[in-house]
Amino acid sequence: MSVKQLNIKNKRARFEYHLLDEYSAGIQLTGTEIKSIRNGKASILEAYCVFVKGEVFIRNMHISEYENGSFYNHRPRADRKLLLNRSEIKKIERFLMVKGNTLIPLKMFLSEKGWVKVEIACAQGKKLHDKRNDMKDKDAKMELDRTLKRF
């Protein structure tokens, strides 16, 4: 079985949030969803995770409809259950009790066995001045790299 690399990332997550804990979770998917994801037709840019009745779900993750799927096709923005250990779920539940904390997906990847996994992180939103400081540090680092490259 040849496993194709899956490269679906949330590039804005590290800019918008302070990331605290990271977890790797499986996703409960149907047949047409997994086929679309393996074709690279998914996006987690606007996605976030919620805690409902002792389970963690990912919301607003877009998976395009499979072009060869007939009436068995899935809904593109349905809630999908994340598969985590009970201890991880309890940690996440306690974390989400605090106002301002959220759970966001960072990237989607294929495991060694070919299962689709999502890397999620417990996060706190950054303030505007934190984002400005990050941009200032990034610009300073780029300028330093440019000057070092000349010599």
| Alpha-carbon gap, residue 122 to 15, rounded angstroms | 14
CB-based burial of residue 63 (10 Å sphere; 0-12 exposed, 13-18 middle, 19+ buried)? buried
Q: Is residue 102 part of a domain?
A: yes
Q: Is residue 136 part of a domain?
A: no
pLDDT in tens, 39-51: 888 889 999 999 9
Q: Vertex 111, ends 94 and 72: CA angle to 5°?
A: 90
Evaluate whether 37 touches 116 at the Cβ level (below 8 Å).
Answer: yes
Q: Please give the model's pTM, rounded to 2 decimal places.
A: 0.79
Query: Position of tokens 């997550």?
Result: 13
Residue, of 68 and 8, whose pLDDT is higher: 8
Evaluate whether 66 touches 73 at the Cβ level (below 8 Å).
Answer: yes
Please state the domain count of the chain. 1
> What mean pLDDT is reported for the chain?
88
Q: Indicate if the pLDDT at residue 1 is higher than 50.
A: no
Q: Indicate if the pLDDT at residue 2 is higher than 80.
A: no
Q: Indicate if the pLDDT at residue 16 is higher than 90.
A: no
What's the average model confidence in pLDDT over 20-28? 92
What is the per-residue pLDDT for 4? Answer: 65
| Alpha-carbon gap, residue 5 to 114, rounded angstroms | 10
The domain in which residue 80 lies consists of 8-126
Q: Indicate if the pLDDT at residue 27 is higher than 50.
A: yes
CATH of residue 116:
2.40.280.10
Residue, of 103 and 72, whose pLDDT is higher: 103
Q: Is residue 112 part of a domain?
A: yes
Query: Position of tokens 């780029």?
Result: 142
What is the per-residue pLDDT for 130? Answer: 86
What's the average model confidence in pLDDT over 90-97? 91
Q: Indicate if the pLDDT at residue 124 is higher than 80.
A: yes
Phi, psi of 130 (to 5 degrees): -65, -40
Residue, of 74 and 112, whose pLDDT is higher: 112
Q: Is residue 133 part of a domain?
A: no
